Structure 1
Amino acid sequence: MTAEFTRAQFVFSVDGTTLNISAIRREGDKVPILFLHGFGSTKEDYADIVRHAEFAGHPFVAYDAPGCGETHCADLTKISIPFLVDTALTVLDHVGFERFHLVGHSMGGLTALMLAHRYPKRVISFVDIEGNIAPEDCFLSRQIVDYPRDGAQRFFQDFIERTRLAPAHASALYAASLWHKVRAEAVGGIFRSMVDLSDNGDLMTKFLGLPFPRMFMYGEQNASLSYLDHIREGGVELAEIPHCGHFPMYSNPVLMWRAIASFHQRAACPPGYTESHREKGAV
């Protein structure tokens, strides 16, 4: 079989902590794409990009965040959203992506937002797939506050059971692999950081202030999010994915990829730019 993407390992330190990052990537001559997965997911959420012809020629990288998947982190207690932002920046240096499309889901969407806010000139466009931008987005992470338990293992076991029974698309499917995809000792730091930023990090202002095309993608089961009209009025494109909750890559991946591809085409060739500009990667 001919490999359509390659596996890669990146070894480096963040905040004095050694990481061995497990990634998948592809080379290409078009605009690069950085993918950041959500809590409880892995880089393979995005592997099917190679199944969609609209993305042919686009280099990409997706990797398992510290505490997740096949990535090894020497100190799980160090992991937080700022730690994950620094990890993403170091991965970008390793693969040589100076400017790129940014796609992040949930925890990865929040990480992407903080990265884009810090380095807006590097980002061409941002697809935020239900990443945190308001306190109400902490329906998973706030459980670290609402359902405290003694010990990381016990909290995570209970979290998995609540998730398995949640009345939402793909929740049981998602819950089935959580124990295998996340180290329990990483959960508390990630969740507390997400809650703190969602409550106190002025995320909405950061998101609406980004100076490049943005799409907010959400499942139709979450169409009641209170801020959707507000961000649309602020220039954010909305993409509602039908028959879907928080996980479009599990419930309706075809429409998810179609929406991302269409958005990238518009973002890469804005008004005033010709086809020749796009072919040269100009933005």
Structure 2
Amino acid sequence: MKDSIIQLDDTWISVRHTDVLPDRSSILFIHGLGESGLSFIESFDANDLKNYNLIVPDLAGYGRSTSAFNADYSFSAQVDRLSRLIDRFGLQKLFIVGHSMGGDIATLLAQQTEDKILGLINIEGDLTPYDVFISNLATEAAERGEFLKWFKDEFRQTIVYEQWAEKRESCRRYYASLWFCKPEAFLSNAKEIYEQSKSAENEIENKLGARFREIKMKKLFCWGEESLAQETRDYIQQKQTEIPNQRFAGAGHWVMIDKGEVFYSLIGEFCSMKE
């Protein structure tokens, strides 16, 4: 694994990656809200991915990357930076894997750069409003004028560290990433998730779910059986012809950590299969 710092305007993006060989297909991993590339660190040791270029950036405002140029953390700005990162590395035959918010961003990126994308894997991105929990709390705290206090004390310390971290390694790693996350990036993206998660009238899916469902390329939605709301499970069951999906027994929200060996084996199989 190598570490590079890529300058995009006045934003410096930290990227973990393998040697990028032009004759190989590539996999770009996009982390979730408050997360960093640490959430995909096992990918570099996965035997099923040895023949792929692996690109694992920290989004602007997250992990080891700097704050965003002009303080723009919007999904469109994050997608633009990732698109430029793809060009910097010269990636052509590309698969995208996004977790949670990263699944939302991956969906938008796939739509924008469809000519270069061979497939899309969405790990518990926001398909319905029923799984948008953290973003709702962050937005409500901001409306009360208490976001920073909520972020540091109630969310990071009480919810993640005291309630979640004891149960799963994935949550302990999430706690570590939260210390490097810029609160302003977290809030900006949480607010956008909150807005995008609103359903159309008489529809269970939200705007992001509709975008993912409408994508025609090879795709897969991955989810942990101990995570998704029942309403979302019912939705993907009803739409399974449009939303092919894979359940992971014993996994929570961080499928790629909770069931890493099985998950990365599936990724290798997905990327090696022809349409």
Q: CA deviation at 1:73?
A: 1.8
Q: Does 1:159 align with 2:155?
A: yes
Q: CA deviation at 1:133?
A: 2.3
Bigger mean CA deviation after superposition, 89-98 or 170-179: 170-179
Per-residue Cα deviation, 1:217-262 (whole angstroms, up to 9, x for no partner): 011113522322133121x321111211101233221111122112
CA contact (8 A) 2:35 2:178 kept: no
Instruction: Indicate the residue corresponding to 1:279 in structure 2.
Output: none
Q: Secondary structure at the match of 1:217?
A: strand
Q: CA deviation at 1:151?
A: 4.7
CA contact (8 A) 2:25 2:92 kept: no
Q: Secondary structure at the match of 1:45?
A: helix
Q: CA deviation at 1:77?
A: 3.7
Distance 1:125 1:180 in 2: 32
Higher relative contact order (CA 8 A, sep 6+): 2
Instruction: Indicate the residue corresponding to 1:273 in structure 2.
Output: none
Instruction: Indicate the residue corresponding to 2:217 in structure 1.
Output: 212
Identity of aligned residues (%): 20
Q: Secondary structure at the match of 1:227?
A: helix
- TM-score of the two chains, using structure 2 as the length reference: 0.85
Bigger mean CA deviation after superposition, 25-34 or 71-80: 71-80
Distance 1:218 1:53 in 2: 22
Instruction: Indicate the residue corresponding to 1:24 in structure 2.
Output: 16
Distance 1:171 1:54 in 2: 21
Instruction: Indicate the residue corresponding to 1:203 in structure 2.
Output: 208
Per-residue Cα deviation, 1:116-167 (whole angstroms, up to 9, x for no partner): 1223222111010001122223112111233444354212122222334259
Q: Secondary structure at the match of 2:25?
A: coil
Q: Secondary structure at the match of 1:54?
A: helix
Distance 2:101 2:170 in 1: 16
Q: Does 1:150 align with 2:157?
A: no
Q: Does 1:190 align with 2:196?
A: no
CA contact (8 A) 1:25 1:62 kept: yes
Aligned partner (choices 92, 107, 124) of residue 98 of structure 1:
92
Instruction: Indicate the residue corresponding to 1:238 in structure 2.
Output: 245
CA contact (8 A) 1:102 1:125 kept: yes
CA contact (8 A) 1:137 1:198 kept: no
Q: CA deviation at 1:55?
A: 1.4
Q: CA deviation at 1:57?
A: 2.1
Distance 1:132 1:74 in 2: 24
Q: Does 1:138 align with 2:132?
A: yes
Alignment of 1:27-176 (within 5 A): 27-28=20-21, 29-75=23-69, 77-148=71-142, 149-157=144-152, 158-160=154-156, 161-164=158-161, 165=163, 169=168, 172-174=171-173, 176=175
- TM-score of the two chains, using structure 1 as the length reference: 0.83
Aligned partner (choices 7, 10, 20) of residue 11 of structure 1:
7
Does the C-alpha gap of structure 1 residues 146 and 242 become closer, same or farther in structure 2, counting only changes over 3 Å?
A: same
Q: CA deviation at 1:52?
A: 1.9
CA contact (8 A) 1:152 1:187 kept: no
Distance 2:86 2:125 in 1: 20
CA contact (8 A) 2:103 2:125 kept: yes
Q: Secondary structure at the match of 1:232?
A: coil
Q: CA deviation at 1:76?
A: 7.4
CA contact (8 A) 2:27 2:95 kept: yes
Please identify runs of 4+ aligned residues in structure 1 that moved more than 6 A: none
Q: CA deviation at 1:193?
A: 0.9
RMSD over aligned CA atoms reads 2.2
Per-residue Cα deviation, 1:43-86 (whole angstroms, up to 9, x for no partner): 13223223222212211211111111110125574212122111
Q: Secondary structure at the match of 1:205?
A: helix
Give the total of aligned pairs.
259
Alignment of 1:223-234 (within 5 A): 223=228, 224=230, 225=232, 226-234=234-242
CA contact (8 A) 1:8 1:22 kept: yes
Q: Which runs of 5+ in 2 are unaligned?
A: 200-205
CA contact (8 A) 1:156 1:187 kept: no
Q: CA deviation at 1:199?
A: 1.7
Distance 1:70 1:76 in 2: 18
* Aligned-partner residue type, residue 109 of structure 1: G
CA contact (8 A) 1:169 1:244 kept: no
